[in-house]
């Protein structure tokens, strides 16, 4: 786990002390050392710069009732920041994550046709793929959910019929957002 990632991207004041409750190793990376390292590779520098910009933007936009960030917590995941990056950077991160499919514990990704379909979705910007905290490949999408209500009634899907099998599940109407599509535009589709 990263401790005080915020100090890499912005001026940050630490509060309190860190105490390990079990044997641990701590690696200290200062922002100037990180900056020197990432500047050696143009694409890594571009992605890091965009990540930093998105991180700082999120930090500035935090308002109650959201939980305040700390040295060990920020109220978002890596995937949330990747979703706001340029499509070209999303593809680079996605293809890097796809390199780890062979060690995935998710049986879906070990299926060759599913893996090929996922690779195509990354290539054409239909899906964003990242490695999560556990090092597992994770497909990330934005979904727009619509609540349509009138006179006390709410429109909802009560189930699905697939391959002559009925599965019951009550959900509101939803659609996956396209690349750079606003939720309002997705809802109108």
Count of Cβ atoms closer than 10 Å to residue 48 Cβ: 19
Percent of residues in the chain assigned helix, strand, coil, to nearest 5:
40, 15, 45
Residue-range domain boundaries for the chain = 1-76, 78-141, 144-188
Average pLDDT over residues 175-186: 79
**pLDDT surpassing 80 at residue 49:** yes
Average pLDDT over residues 21-27: 89
Look at residue 53 in the predicted model and tell me its pLDDT. Answer: 95
Look at residue 88 in the predicted model and tell me its pLDDT. Answer: 95
Percent of the chain residues topping a pLDDT of 70: 98
**CA dist 145 → 132, 150, 157 (Å):** 24, 17, 12
Residue 161, beta-bridge partner list: 166
Average pLDDT, the chain: 90
Q: How confident is the model at residue 41 (pLDDT cuts 50, 70, 90)?
A: very high
Query: Using omega within 30 degrees of 0 as the cis cutoff, is the peptide bond preceding 65 cis?
Result: yes
CA 148, CA 154: separation in Å to the nearest integer?
Answer: 6
Can you list the pairs that 4-10 forms with residues at least 24 positions away whose Cβ atoms lie under 8 Å? 4/71, 4/72, 5/55, 5/74, 6/55, 6/59, 6/69, 6/71, 6/74, 7/31, 8/34, 8/52, 9/51, 9/52, 9/55, 9/56, 9/59, 10/55, 10/56, 10/59
The DSSP H or E segment spanning 78 is helix 78-82
Q: Mean pLDDT check: name the lowest of 12-21, 30-39, 77-86, 166-175.
A: 12-21
CA 176, CA 145: separation in Å to the nearest integer?
Answer: 9
Average pLDDT over residues 171-177: 90
pLDDT tens figures, 121-150:
999 988 899 999 888 999 998 889 999 999
State both tokens at 63: 């308002």
**pLDDT surpassing 80 at residue 106:** no
Q: How confident is the model at residue 1 (pLDDT cuts 50, 70, 90)?
A: low
Look at residue 114 in the predicted model and tell me its pLDDT. Answer: 86
CA 70, CA 12: separation in Å to the nearest integer?
Answer: 10
Average pLDDT over residues 107-133: 88
């Amino acid at each position: 786990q990263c401790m005080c990632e915020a100090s890499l991207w912005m001026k940050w004041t630490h509060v309190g002390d860190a105490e390990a409750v079990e044997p641990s190793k701590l690696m200290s990376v200062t922002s100037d050392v990180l900056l020197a390292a990432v500047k050696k590779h143009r694409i890594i520098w571009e992605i890091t710069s965009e990540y930093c910009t998105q991180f700082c933007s999120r930090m500035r936009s935090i308002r109650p009732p959201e939980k305040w960030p700390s040295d060990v917590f920020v109220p978002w995941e890596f995937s949330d920041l990747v979703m706001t990056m340029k499509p070209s950077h999303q593809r680079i991160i996605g293809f890097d994550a796809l390199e780890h499919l062979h060690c995935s514990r998710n049986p879906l990704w070990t299926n060759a046709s599913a893996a090929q379909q996922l690779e195509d979705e990354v290539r054409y910007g239909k899906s964003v793929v990242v490695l999560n905290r556990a090092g597992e490949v994770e497909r990330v999408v934005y979904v727009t959910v619509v609540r349509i209500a009138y006179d006390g009634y709410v429109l909802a899907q009560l189930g699905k019929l697939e391959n002559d099998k009925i599965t019951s599940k009550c959900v509101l109407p939803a659609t996956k957002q396209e690349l750079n599509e606003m939720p309002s535009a997705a809802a109108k589709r």
